[in-house]
């Protein structure tokens, strides 16, 4: 019986819309986090001096520290943005698809 | 019957602790690392043990079926699971190790904590909801969803057990060393206490007790770390700039602690270590297992959202704690180890004593800082938190090891899925006891060994063997059993092999001459994970067997379930 329902889901254009939007979204987000993280790592590997530069005249804090904390904060924010969109917009579409598949 | 066993193990536990304390209370002449017995810390820890055992007793009454044992009946909320994941992931190594690294070299500690965090968005974006929708008890459920059960399960269970074993040895040895320093207990007793308590939690309370131990520990750790960071910042009127300025002034490396140091040597190592941490997190069996404890994909996503938030917040705290220790601990002779040469104290020209690192070793920065900002009672609290941290992590590891044996190997491979829930539960409990005993024996056997490479190895195996199979079987329609198993074996063998011939094992453990290691990089992940993916791709592409065609034809139905949750296992509440 599940297989019948699954077949109806497969036939529903909304399902393909959901899968393509969500897949594209998650791939873009994954690329974002990889660029941020590997960008930071490569910066450390290739330009240690710049990361050690002071933020301003007479200051101690170096450029690398706010950038590093920024990577942590970005990670938290990107994750929560994805969760919010998936749990509202995508889940609503998902529920519609399941409802329609069970109705027919 | 359960209560009876619980009472016996409690008696056993007390039997271990008391002689341990008696020995510890005696004069310690030999080892410098061992501290005098800290009664406040022991009382605080006793309180934690009492609460968690009480919860275990309550959880035992709810643990009746295999589903209860593995996944707490799927009745954990997203928020609770987020905290539990954080509790499962934030090990004593990340708390004491990262703050210790910041204490010694400043900036480099930040690089490390970022690495430990970036795996979480990858799990969120690519894995969490699909895992929850396809799986039931273990990640092998997901990997073998449309594949031939026997080979996939055997491999996935082997992958889980190898990762669990290395992670566990590192935790047990760390636990013994840490408790020796913190509580003044003998190493062997410390390891046995960890083993017995972890067995109690998992054996009687299964996933419900393990989850609550992890939640309580996460709350204690986050509260303690927040207090310490605030206490440090308070002294500098909440100005990080003022804190850094003072740290640069008093640290022996001065300005160098504000820039990246020697942690990242070459770009290839940097990328390779980064990959191991980023994708390894998505292949750790004890972490993946947590996704089956929530009722839906929606809650699974919520849990990673919360987990990432807590873990990221915690890593920012450890950075502040490390700098706080530079300022408040390194300037106070009470926390420093007196420099000794040939058993004699060394003085400078003016007759003042010289110091050499921290009392109890490099990992003690956060512990001494606790004393500096909160006195003896807070020191006791943080020591108890460190002990609780180890317990929560090893309980999670044991549970995932036990489920790999009882669910994947016994119920699915050996009994072909015909095992009833009661028998499966009994097998998992027997496995838990065996794993506990093995963990204690290995912990004692590896006491004097260098285990620094083991956590990195566990991550390397997780990202080279477990993650590629999981990723390809769920997302690539042409993936077949042969491809997945061949790729997993290649990933497992190459990650272990390359680690053995790298400097961290070849030179540091096997004592070969310096510079003789064949593999020059810090982590094999870049090569072993790539090799695993390539093998899965090529073997699957050329696999034209009947079985392969069947597996490909099952992909659309698997995709509907993984994307929409249609037909996914619901929570089995009572």
Q: Looking only at Cα atoms, what is the longest distance across chain A? A: 72
Confidence band, pLDDT 50/70/90 cuts, at residue B265:
confident
Interface residue B125 vs chain A (CB under 8 A)? yes
Closest by Cβ to B557, choosing from A3, A18, A101: A3
What would the pLDDT profile of B484-527 be if each residue is shown by its tens digit?
A: 999 999 999 999 999 999 888 888 888 888 888 888 888 899 99
The pairs formed by B295-299 with CB atoms below 8 angstroms and a separation of 24 or more are B295/B74, B295/B75, B295/B570, B295/B571, B296/B132, B296/B565, B296/B568, B297/B128, B297/B129, B297/B132, B297/B133, B297/B565, B297/B568, B298/A87, B298/A91, B298/B78, B299/B77, B299/B78, B299/B81, B299/B132
**How high is the pLDDT of residue B35?**
59
Which one is predicted more confidently, B572 or B23? B572
Averaged over B158-187, what is the pLDDT? 87
What would the pLDDT profile of B84-116 be if each residue is shown by its tens digit?
A: 999 999 987 788 888 888 998 899 889 888 988
Q: Residue B269: what are its φ and ψ, rounded to 5°?
A: -60, -40
Task: Note whether B298 contacts A44, CB cutoff 8 Å.
Answer: no
What would the pLDDT profile of A47-66 be if each residue is shown by its tens digit?
A: 888 888 888 888 888 999 99
**How high is the pLDDT of residue B31?**
37
Residues in A closer than 8 angstroms to B241, CB to CB, are 59-61
Closest CA to A84 of B315, B123, B124, B118: B124
What would the pLDDT profile of B371-418 be if each residue is shown by its tens digit?
A: 999 988 898 899 888 888 888 899 999 999 999 998 999 988 888 888
- Please give the CATH number for the structural domain made up of B2-26+39-329+362-450: 1.20.1730.10
**How high is the pLDDT of residue B574?**
40
Residues in B closer than 8 angstroms to A65, CB to CB, are 107, 110, 240, 244, 258
Which one is predicted more confidently, B357 or A64? A64
Q: How far is B115 from chain A (nearest CA, A)?
A: 8
What are the sequence ranges of the domains in chain A?
A: 2-103
Residues in A closer than 8 angstroms to B264, CB to CB, are 41, 44-45
| Complex-level ipTM | 0.94
Conformation bin of residue B357: beta by default, left when phi > 0, alpha when psi is -120 to 50: left
Task: Note whether A37 contacts B118, CB cutoff 8 Å.
Answer: yes
Averaged over B209-238, what is the pLDDT? 94
Averaged over B231-258, what is the pLDDT? 91
Q: How far is A37 from chain B (nearest CA, A)?
A: 7
Q: Is the pLDDT of residue A12 over 90?
A: no
Q: How far is B259 from chain A (nearest CA, A)?
A: 4
And the tokens for B387? 């002990």
Cα gap B116→B214, rounded to integer Å: 18
How far from B205 is each of B73, B136, B168, B352, B416, CA to CA, in Å?
12, 19, 20, 56, 27
Contact present, B523 and B500 (Cβ < 8 Å): no
Q: In terms of residues, how long is chain B? A: 574
Q: How far is A104 from chain B (nearest CA, A)?
A: 15
pTM listed for this prediction: 0.89
Confidence band, pLDDT 50/70/90 cuts, at residue B27:
very low
Which one is predicted more confidently, A100 or B568? A100
What would the pLDDT profile of B6-20 be if each residue is shown by its tens digit?
A: 555 555 555 555 444
C-alpha angle B67-B455-B382 in degrees, rounded to nearest 5: 80
Contact present, B81 and B74 (Cβ < 8 Å): no
Cα gap B119→B276, rounded to integer Å: 9
Task: Note whether A33 contacts B125, CB cutoff 8 Å.
Answer: yes
């Amino acid at each position: 019986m599940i297989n019948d329902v699954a077949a109806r889901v497969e036939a529903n254009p909304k399902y393909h819309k959901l899968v393509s939007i969500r897949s594209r979204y998650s791939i873009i987000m994954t690329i974002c986090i990889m660029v941020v993280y590997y960008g930071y790592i490569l910066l450390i590997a290739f330009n240690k001096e710049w990361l050690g530069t002071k933020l301003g005249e007479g200051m101690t804090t170096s450029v690398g520290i706010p950038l590093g904390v920024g990577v942590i904060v970005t990670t938290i924010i990107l994750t929560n943005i994805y969760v919010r969109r998936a749990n509202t917009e995508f889940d609503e579409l998902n529920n519609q698809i399941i409802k329609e598949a069970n109705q027919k | 019957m359960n209560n009876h066993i619980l009472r016996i193990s409690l008696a056993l536990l007390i039997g271990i602790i008391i002689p341990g304390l008696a020995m510890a209370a005696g004069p310690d002449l030999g080892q410098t690392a061992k501290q005098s017995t800290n009664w406040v810390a022991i009382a605080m820890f006793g309180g934690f043990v009492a609460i968690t055992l009480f919860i275990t007793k309550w959880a035992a009454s709810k643990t009746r079926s295999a589903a209860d044992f593995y996944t707490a009946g799927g009745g954990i909320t997203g928020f609770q699971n987020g905290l539990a994941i954080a509790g499962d992931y934030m090990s004593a190594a990340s708390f004491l190790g990262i703050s210790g690294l910041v204490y010694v070299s400043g900036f480099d500690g930040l690089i490390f904590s970022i690495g430990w965090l970036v795996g979480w968005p990858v799990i969120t974006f690519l894995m969490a909801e699909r895992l929850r929708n396809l799986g039931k008890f273990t990640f092998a459920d997901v990997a073998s969803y449309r594949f031939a059960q026997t080979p996939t399960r055997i491999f996935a269970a082997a992958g889980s057990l190898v990762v669990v074993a290395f992670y566990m040895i590192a935790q047990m040895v760390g636990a013994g060393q840490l408790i020796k320093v913190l509580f003044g207990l003998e190493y062997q007793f410390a390891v046995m206490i960890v083993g017995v308590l972890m067995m109690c939690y998992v054996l009687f309370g299964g996933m419900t007790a393990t989850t609550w131990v992890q939640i309580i520990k996460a709350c204690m750790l986050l509260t303690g770390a927040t207090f310490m960071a605030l206490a440090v910042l308070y002294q500098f009127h909440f100005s990080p700039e003022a804190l850094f300025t003072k740290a640069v002034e008093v640290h022996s490396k001065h300005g160098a602690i504000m820039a990246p140091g020697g942690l990242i040597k070459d770009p290839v190592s940097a990328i390779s270590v980064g990959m191991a941490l980023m994708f390894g997190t998505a292949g750790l069996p004890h972490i993946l297992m947590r996704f089956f404890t929530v009722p839906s994909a929606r809650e699974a996503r919520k849990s990673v959202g919360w987990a990432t938030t807590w873990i990221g917040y915690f890593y920012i705290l450890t950075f502040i704690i490390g700098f706080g220790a530079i300022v408040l601990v390194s300037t106070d002779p009470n926390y420093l180890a007196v420099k000794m040469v040939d058993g004699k104290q060394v003085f400078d020209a003016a007759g003042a004593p010289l110091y050499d690192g921290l009392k109890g070793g490099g990992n003690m920065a956060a512990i001494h800082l606790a004393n500096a900002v909160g006195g003896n009672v807070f020191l006791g609290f943080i020591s108890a938190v460190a002990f609780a941290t180890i317990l929560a992590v090893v309980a999670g590891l044991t549970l995932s090891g036990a489920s790999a044996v009882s669910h994947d190997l016994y119920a699915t491979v050996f009994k072909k899925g015909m095992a009833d829930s009661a028998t499966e539960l009994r097998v998992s409990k027997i496995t838990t006891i065996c794993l506990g005993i093995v963990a204690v024996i290995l912990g004692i056997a590896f006491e004097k060994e260098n285990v620094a490479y083991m956590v990195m190895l566990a991550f390397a195996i997780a990202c080279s063997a477990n993650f590629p199979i999981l990723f390809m079987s769920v997302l690539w329609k042409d993936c077949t059993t042969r491809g997945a198993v061949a790729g997993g074996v290649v990933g497992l063998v190459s990650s272990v092999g390359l680690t053995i011939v790298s400097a961290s094992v070849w030179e540091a453990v096997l004592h070969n001459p310096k510079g003789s290691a064949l593999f020059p990089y810090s982590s094999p992940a870049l090569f072993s994970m790539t090799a695993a993916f390539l093998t899965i791709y090529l073997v699957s592409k050329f696999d034209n067997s009947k079985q392969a065609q069947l597996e490909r034809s099952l992909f659309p139905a698997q995709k509907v379930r993984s994307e929409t949750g249609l037909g996914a296992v619901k929570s089995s509440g009572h």
